[in-house]
Amino acid sequence: MRSEELHETLLPKRLALPIFASDPLSSVAYATQEILLVLTLGGLAYLHFTPWIAAAVVALMAVVVLSYRQVVHAYPSGGGSYEVVSSNLGASAGLVVAASLLVDYVMTVAVSVASGVDNIISALPGLAEHRVALAIGFVALLTGVNLRGLRESGRAFAAPTYLFIAGVLIMVGTGLLRYLLGRPPVAESAGYGITGDPADTGLAGFALVMLCLRAFSSGCTALTGVEAISNGVPAFRKPKSKNAATTMAVMGAIAVAMFVGVTTLALVAKVHITDDSCRLTGLVGDCGSHTQRTVIAQLASAVFGGESSFGFYFVQAATALVLILAANTAFNGFPLLADILAQHRYLPRQLHNRGDRLAFSNGIIALALAAGLLLWFYKADVTSLIHLYILGVFTSFTLSQTGMVRHWNRELRDEGAAPETRRRGQAARVINALGAVVTGLVLVIVLATKFTQGAWLAVVAAVLLWLMMRGIRRHYDATAAELAAPDPRAELVRPSRVLVIVLVSTLHKPTLRALAYARAFKPDQLEALTVAVDREETASLERQWHELDIDVPLKVIDSPYREITRPVVEYIRSVRRSSPREVVGVFIPEYVVGRWWEHLLHNQSALWLKSRLLFTPGVMVTSVPWQLTSSARADHPAARAPGSVRRGEPPGGRAASPPAETGRGSEPEG
């Protein structure tokens, strides 16, 4: 029953595909367009380079998918590129990957949302002037949903992703069939000419190559997110690695089919798109207010018969939805990476405690703020954002493939392995070496063509993150060294005497409970302490104390300026000075309230006092809570954190089922 339950929560391939592939597949929505936008900088003539560039992208995708299938087999624990690089190329290189990936999560949100908004505007042009507001609204929506702790659900992902795949493939099939039948679809922009940008027209030799390389760099956005499956192997059903590798191959095939199909159809239908409407010729009306539709929208309109056809709205809706889901994957993927980095002490330790919602919330808010700022700054323009995107992806590709080569080198050094294993390892090494060389080459191309166009910002951000994470690790190491106990027995020596001081303001139930609990500890000395902030109240307290004949001495300290913290801290320090070997326990009665605004009305003094007392050596601070009836409202457990489905963790979070298997190293396959 229990293992069946666990099996139920693990993902079958048909659900894993949409969860992990919504990000890489959704990039089909903008990859072709970005290639065309660069080529038309030189005018319409350069569009004939499109097939070659698309072919290069497809070849690259094949190499990357093949390479990552090796990662899936070799590292079934789901550590992904960061784990591969850390364990094979060292911690600093691993940290480079981690920083790149963190930047990439931000870019995934920004680019996917911007492109989603573009496709919404293509269907509803009236929204064009609200582009930035829409984009930031979607980021806010995703933030809210993820802060609420909504779990990713395979089913919720499945429908939009499959509808997107089906919609695009049907569109491509219909369009190409019409082409073969001699009635090719004609894009709305087919009649426009494009004047090249003066800087990029009439290029030859090196300059022409550079333009093509820029187009290729932009087309490489089709590869973003391909590695997602390698991070999620533990979420697959058994045999995990094999199922993950199969899913990866299927995803690669679908991505290639969609990308090739859309690109071919764009050429067939003569989509003429440019980064500046004012370079279009043959335009009716003012170029400044002309909004070009996305390539997907132009194709859907041309194939399905105009902007009011069902097919057009269907494709646009599915595209926008899948892009928003792709953005959501970053909200789920970010905590997973942060978790691992926190475990290695490169990020605050609490990110490793999954039950701590607060820490996750901070991560989600940081991600959303960064993405929102970029969307605002770049006016939600996909093309500008793309420049920042690809660098991190290829940094992690290159380093992880290089790491895999090292991995196989080490594996093959073990001469005792079976010949079949050795042969498989050698083949894998060739694949990964090819992957490393090719992605490294692309990295250089991207760096060369995109650096000045905005990629420098991504580099700066990654470097800062890298420095910060190294700093955090150093701080943790220094703290650990300071806290280490070379002689634990000496630290365990019992203090000679304990003095307990109970803080008292009025004689209500919380105070009386604190007194009762303090007496239960039977300290060597017990006293009650009150600060005379109000003469009348203090006099009344002393009277009551006397009447009740409480067997604990009540000490009153003066506070001319109605401060509480300073006189108490000074008194306790003076006690400590006069008998340094004594330990002082300060008991503070507190009320526990349930409504957020009640916190503003209570316990502020106690909170401040506690935080100051902690600075005094030899003092321990005890909160004695008294639960007011309203406190029951707030007594609920923490919700689950995002990213759990990707981890293969069962729902509910109660300790009902055993933890998902997360062993390291190679997994034997069935």
Write out the binding residues for its own copies, residues 528-547 only, by CB under 8 A: 533-534, 544
CB count, 10 Å around CB of 657?
Answer: 15
For its own copies, the binding residues in 206-235 under the rule CB under 8 A are none
Q: Choose which of 214, 272, 354, 646 interacts with its own copies (CB under 8 A).
A: 354
d(CA 266, CA 32): 8
How many residues touch its own copies (CB under 8 A)?
Answer: 99
Using DSSP, state whether 272 is helix, strand or coil.
Answer: coil
Q: Nearest approach, Cβ of 460 to its own copies (angstroms)?
A: 20
Which C-beta is closer to its own copies: that of 226 or that of 606? 606
Segment lying near its own copies (by CB under 8 A), choices 9-17, 48-56, 162-170, 354-362: 354-362
Q: Least separation, in Å, of the C-beta of 75 and its own copies?
A: 19
Spatial separation of the C-alpha atoms in residues 229 and 610, rounded to whole Å: 47
DSSP state string for 582-629 = EEEEEEEEEEE--SHHHHHHSSHHHHHHHHHHTTSTTEEEEEEEEE-G
The residue among 12 and 348 lying less far from its own copies, judged by its C-beta, is 348
When binding is defined by CB under 8 A, the residue of 567, 642, 643, 648 that contacts its own copies is: 567
Nearest approach, Cβ of residue 529 and its own copies (Å): 15
Contacts for 381 with CB less than 8 Å, ≥ 6 apart: 114
Q: Does 516 bind its own copies (CB under 8 A)?
A: yes
Distance, in Å, from the CA atom of 58 to the CA atom of 222, rounded to the nearest integer, reads 9
Sequence-distant (≥ 6) Cβ neighbours of residue 624 within 8 angstroms: 510, 513, 514, 517, 518, 587, 588, 589, 590
Q: What are phi and psi of 100, to 5 degrees?
A: -60, -45
Tallying the residues shown for the chain, one arrives at 670
- Please list every residue from 493 through 512 that binds its own copies, using CB under 8 A: 493-495, 498, 507-510, 512
Choose, by CB under 8 A, the member of 564, 572, 575, 645 that binds its own copies: 564
Site for its own copies in 314-333 (CB under 8 A): none
Q: Which is closer to its own copies, CB of 309 or CB of 605?
A: 605
Angle at CA 620, nearest 5°, toward 615 and 625? 115
Q: How far is the CB of 222 from its own copies (least distance, A)?
A: 36
The interface with its own copies within residues 570-629 (CB under 8 A) comprises 583, 585, 587, 590-592, 598, 600-602, 604-605, 608, 610, 613-617, 619-629
C-beta closer to its own copies: residue 183 or 494: 494
Q: Cβ contacts of residue 124 below 8 Å, gap of 6+?
A: none
Q: How far apart are CA 135 and CA 115, in angstroms?
A: 9
d(CA 223, CA 219): 8
Instruction: Please choose, out of 104-112, 422-430, 454-462, 556-564, the segment that lies near its own copies by the rule CB under 8 A.
Output: 556-564
Closer residue to its own copies in complex, CB, 534/669: 534
Report the 10 Å Cβ neighbour count for 434. Answer: 15
Strands (E) in 132-227, as ranges, are 193-194
User: Which one, of 364, 393, 360, 331, lies nearest residue 80 by Cα?
Assistant: 393
Site for its own copies in 455-484 (CB under 8 A): 472, 475-476, 479-480, 482-484
Judged by CB under 8 A, the stretch of 11-19, 364-372, 377-385, 492-500 that binds its own copies is 492-500
Which of residues 124, 166, 209, 358 is near its own copies by CB under 8 A? 358
Phi, psi of 235 (to 5 degrees): -85, -10
Residue 333 or 523: the one with the smaller Cβ distance to its own copies is 523
Q: Which is nearer to its own copies, 184 or 363 (CB)?
A: 363
CB of 488 to its own copies, least distance (A): 5
Is the Cβ–Cβ distance between 346 and 472 less than 8 Å?
Answer: yes
Q: Please name which of 331, 55, 324 lies closest in space to residue 212, comparing C-alpha atoms.
A: 55
| 550 makes contact with its own copies (CB under 8 A) | yes
The answer to whether 297 and 119 are in contact (CB under 8 A) is yes
Smallest separation, CB 537 to its own copies (Å): 10
**Under rule CB under 8 A, residue 649 binds its own copies:** yes
Closest CB to its own copies among 415 and 487?
487
Contact between 62 and its own copies by CB under 8 A: the answer reads: no
Based on the shown chain and the rule CB under 8 A, indicate whether residue 657 belongs to the binding site for its own copies.
yes
Instruction: Report how many helices (DSSP H) and strands (DSSP E) the chain contains, helices first.
Output: 24, 7
Stretch near its own copies under the rule CB under 8 A, chosen from 130-138, 209-217, 299-307, 657-665: 657-665
Return the H-helix or E-strand segment holding 242.
Answer: helix 240-268
Among residues 119 and 644, whose Cβ is nearest to its own copies? 644
Measured from the CB atom, the residue of 52 and 521 that comes closer to its own copies is 521
Question: Hey, what are 115's tokens?
Answer: 């492109």
Q: Does 147 bind its own copies (CB under 8 A)?
A: no
Closest-CA residue to 225 (of 263, 252, 197)? 252
The residue among 348 and 454 lying less far from its own copies, judged by its C-beta, is: 348
Question: Can you tell me which residue has the tokens 């820490």?
Answer: 359
Q: Among the candidate windows 233-241, 248-256, 413-421, 559-567, which touches its own copies by CB under 8 A?
A: 559-567
Query: First and final CA of the chain: distance in angstroms?
Result: 23
